[in-house]
Amino acid sequence: MTKSDDTPVYLAADCGGSNCRVRLYDEDGNRLAEGFGGPSNAALGLDVALSEIFRATREALGTLDGEAIPLSRLHAGFAMAGLIEADRRYEFTQIPHPFASMTAETDAFVAQLGCFAGGDGGLLITGTGSCAFASVGPDKYYIGGWGFGVSDQGSGARLGHLAVRRALQAYDEILPPSPFCEEIMARVGDTPAEVSSWALTARPADYAALTPIAFDYAAREDEVAVYLVKEVAEEVEQLIRALLKRGVSGIRHIGGLADPIRPWLDDSYQSYFVTAEGDVFDGALRLINNRTGLINKSGKGR
């Protein structure tokens, strides 16, 4: 980097339930660097989310050659999971920050913006959590995404949670056991008491971390794993049908669970999936340039 001190640098961040990814871009849209942090869902608290964003940003800045770029020169745009509650959205507009500017919207809003280059379409996210978003003309529709405790159907956290419950039921001989159930117990606790203790502090990301095991055993035709994966697939199909009710003609399906769950969806839904024109980072850049999200004017510029 050899640009002058007043040349803007853009920070685009994908803030999810399992991790935070940030990318730095120059004024021409060229990617400069990338950094990573931990869970940055707004539901964890904005202080927690911003701390992970700062960590990822400093990692990205540390990889640049040449001059050191202060945070005060970065124009930041965040795609932030969990940024749905009115109080939290207001808090975002007021919280102090060190950037030149800072804006954000929900991960679904920003990802849809990038996938359809600002045009109409439906966005389905199945990652640690889940949600759907549709833009049809002037109308915007949020579907799901209300938090792990009451929502997040068809998500990695949902599948992991179902797996832990089913493993306990097998241990207690309420339902038949399987090798999958034994593997889950081995991962989270040898006894129900240990599993219960693990669950007291388990976050959605901890449940989502169990999903590869479910798909692995489903591929081996473990009956319990197959049943649970099919159950989550049906929940994903429910989200697809909810999007179609809003009148979208195409759906972009993203998130860590998107590729693994796709073969488990009914063939009749496959034709609705479209190729994205951009990604969540493109959406974040549009958010910054168009100033269409929540705008925070409390930056300290330090």
Residue ranges of domains in the chain, CATH in brackets: 9-117+278-296 (3.30.420.40), 143-272 (3.30.420.40)
pLDDT digits (tens, 9 = 90+) for 49-108: 999 999 999 999 999 987 789 999 999 999 999 999 999 999 999 999 999 999 999 999
Concatenated DSSP letters of 121-146: EEEEEESSSEEEEEEETTEEEEES-S
pLDDT of residue 132: 95
Q: How much of the chain exceeds pLDDT 90, in percent?
A: 89
pLDDT digits (tens, 9 = 90+) for 152-209: 999 999 999 999 999 999 999 999 999 999 999 999 999 999 999 999 999 999 999 9
pLDDT digits (tens, 9 = 90+) for 268-283: 999 999 999 999 999 9
pLDDT of residue 236: 98
Residue 201's alpha-carbon distances to 8, 86, 100, 206, in angstroms, are 41, 26, 36, 9
- Say if residue 3's pLDDT is above 60: no
pTM across the whole model: 0.84
Whether residue 111 contacts residue 131, with contact meaning beta carbons closer than 8 Å, is answered with: no
pLDDT of residue 298: 75
- Say if residue 258's pLDDT is above 70: yes
pLDDT of residue 301: 43
CB atoms within 10 A of CB 57: 26
Q: Give the pLDDT mean for 213-232.
A: 98
Q: Helices 86-94 and 46-62 sit at what angle, rounded to 10 degrees?
A: 50
Q: How far apart are CA 212 and CA 249, in angstroms?
A: 31
- CA end-to-end distance (rounded Å), the chain: 20
Q: How far apart are CA 12 and CA 169, in angstroms?
A: 43
Per the model's pLDDT, the better-predicted residue between 219 and 85 turns out to be: 219
pLDDT digits (tens, 9 = 90+) for 224-257: 999 999 999 999 999 999 999 999 989 999 999 9
Smallest CA-to-CA distance from 206 within 39, 50, 47, 48 is with 39
pLDDT of residue 302: 35
pLDDT of residue 5: 65
Largest CA distance in the chain: 68
Q: How many helices (H) and strands (E) would you count in the chain?
A: 11, 10
